Amino acid sequence: MDHQNSPIDFYFDPCSPYAYFAATGIEALAARHGRTVRWRPVSLLALFKASGTTPAPMVPLRGPYVIHDVARTAQLHGIPYRKPVNFPQLLLAAPRAMLWIEDAYGAAQTATFAKRCFSAYFVEGVDLAQDEEVVRLAQEQGVDGARLRIALQGTAIKEALKTAGEEAIARGVFGVPFMIVDDEPFWGFDRFDQLERWLEKAAATQAAA
């Protein structure tokens, strides 16, 4: 099968700092290899339930390490980062809004909004658990805030995120960031190097064919 131009499916939840780190570089990585990115918001809660795991920051001993590692990773990679006041925190309005925006405005707008949410939460200290903050950020991107506000109160948007999670789980996604390209799965920001090498190998194989 010809995978030369197939996109990278990028699964993320805006509550994850490692997904934020990945989001700052995934598009540049893809572009270096002639690929595009499909931004696929999901809820980590659904993934945790399916895999029977607990959020790392809430695990004894491991939690303090993760908090330290997140700050260190940001520093080593030169990525702006400020620990959110209520971290870790379940965020549902933001990924739901992303799915609604994709349906109403297209995938490109979703990517722009997702990146804005990440910077707002992990750099500016915006509380994305508040619907009104999510609406405000969306309005900055030209989204109809009144329509989004109504959508966030409905059931359709909740079902959309649930379905997105079920589809991700069916593909083997159990955490974020999770990248799938050419049917090959990569989990974690620390797998970016492997993802890059995989794409290089795929390009070389394609060129030799």
Can you tell me the distance from the alpha carbon of 21 to that of 2, in angstroms, rounded to the nearest whole number? 30
* 5 backbone dihedrals φ, ψ, rounded to 5°: -110, 15
- Least Cα distance to 95 among 183, 13, 208, 193 occurs for 13
What the block records as the tokens of 58 is 């809430």
Q: Is 6 among the catalytic positions?
A: no
Alpha-carbon dihedral sign for residues 126, 108, 13, 82: negative
Q: Catalytic residue among 6, 16, 43, 119, which?
A: 16
- Helix (H, G, I), strand (E, B), or coil: what is residue 37? strand
User: Which residues are tagged catalytic?
Assistant: 16
